[in-house]
Amino acid sequence: MRRPGVEGGQALSIGLGIPSVDASLDAAVNAGLDDVEARLRASVHSDDAVLAEASRHLTQAGGKRFRPLITLLAAGFGDLAAPKVVPAAVAVELTHVGTLYHDDVMDEAELRRGGPSANARWDNTVAILTGDFLFACASDLLADLGPESVRIQARTFQRLVHGQLHETLGPRPDEDPVAHYLSVLSDKTGSLIAASTRLGALHAGVPPEHVELLGRFGERIGMAFQLADDLLDIAGESALSGKTPGTDLREGVATLPVLYARRAARPGDERLLELISGPVVDDAAHAEALSLLRAHPAMGEAQAEVLRWADDARSALRSLPHVAARDALEALCDTVVTRTS
């Protein structure tokens, strides 16, 4: 929906491809994102040269800035220009980037966002401490936002830890691997995106019942977004997900399409199951696995799961005021689905 007399504005996020819905909203959100970038650089300042460089390593390495974007869009249901909205967006991005440092250590990753990971550039200790430093920077910002913001962050952090622990331990012998995987994603990805929408709405003066609905939206669109990245890692012909296609296969990470293929194996799938039983390091085997998996019905089943989460996210918006920010979030639901098809 466009406001009377307003022409189409700049796209909200080139990296995500979200179309313009309202020029005034676009301008406000893009200005907010510029402010987030500036404050991110300022927030990670340290007098220690190693810590300063290591902190900048990922905070300035790009990324979609999905969490700050969705924080600002949630604030669009109230006063997007309220003074605590941008600090909230910075806090969630610092938290997200901090988790990346820790994830790379646990995964023994060598690359992140097209360059060496922090643990490869320095070592595991520096990477872990840098992640801790970013969490401390986020907490410092949140302390100025009030006790409710601190509570949201603390509960989110609990879920982040649970998600990482359960991912590390893997499913129990009696647990469905697909259900386990979705639970891990909910804790590791959905929780922080839900916190993003809650914090943005809270500090924009949005009524509590609408803050809750936006939190519900954030959880669901976060799931759709991550599952879409899983599909792109297999189906993408370019690094739309921020990784070289097939990275998860090469590292032996069983994402949703792989789990579906294992669960519903067909006659003739023996070669595929053999290839995806662990990391696919050999280049020829990797190309073969990608080809077989792309042609497997598991891809359509995973696509349907993305659509289900996006539809659930859209349903959470139905009781919210019909303002430009709602149009933008609905467009985001469409974008998340279409980027996998």
* Residue 197 and residue 55 in one domain: yes
Give the residue carrying structure tokens 């359960």. Answer: 166
Residues 188 and 235 in one domain: no
Mean pLDDT by 10 residues, the chain (341 residues): 35 61 92 94 85 76 85 97 97 92 71 64 80 92 96 96 93 96 96 98 98 98 94 74 73 93 90 94 94 95 96 96 96 86 56
Domain co-membership, 229 together with 305: yes
Domain boundary residue, one of 206, 238, 272: 206
CATH of the domain at 282: 1.10.600.10
Q: Are residues 183 and 257 in the same domain?
A: no
Residue 198: which domain range?
Answer: 22-206
Of 206, 237, 272, which residue constitutes the final position of a domain?
206
The answer to the question of residue 12 being in a domain is no
Tokens representing 62 are 């790009």
Residue 83 and residue 144: Cα distance in Å, rounded?
Answer: 11
Q: pTM for the complete prediction?
A: 0.89
Instruction: Supply the pLDDT for residue 2.
Output: 31
**Residue 72 forms part of a structural domain:** yes
Residue 142 sits in the same domain as residue 272 = no
Residue with the two structure tokens 């739309």:
240
Query: Residue 14 has what pLDDT?
Result: 43
Contact 112, 118 (CB under 8 A): yes
Q: Is residue 17 a part of any domain in this protein?
A: no
Q: What 3-state DSSP class applies to 116?
A: strand
SS3 of 306, please? helix
Q: Three-class SS of residue 111?
A: strand
> Do residues 52 and 154 both lie within one domain?
yes
Domain match, 317 and 261 both: yes
| Structural domain contains residue 10 | no
Q: 48 and 150 in one domain? A: yes
Q: What is the pLDDT of residue 104?
A: 73
- Do residues 185 and 226 share a domain? no
Closest CA to 1 of 230, 328, 229: 328
Q: Based on the domain organization, do 150 and 28 belong to the same domain? A: yes
Catalogue the E-assigned strands of the chain: 111-112, 115-116
Q: Which of 206, 228, 246 corresponds to the end of one domain?
A: 206
Domain count, the chain: 2
Task: Identify whether 9 is part of a domain.
Answer: no
Are 194 and 261 part of one and the same domain?
A: no
By CB atoms closer than 10 A (0-12, 13-18, 19+), residue 11 is: middle
Name the token pair of 318. 């139905």
Q: Are residues 230 and 193 in the same domain?
A: no
Helices assigned H by DSSP within 124-207: 124-143, 147-169, 177-185, 191-203
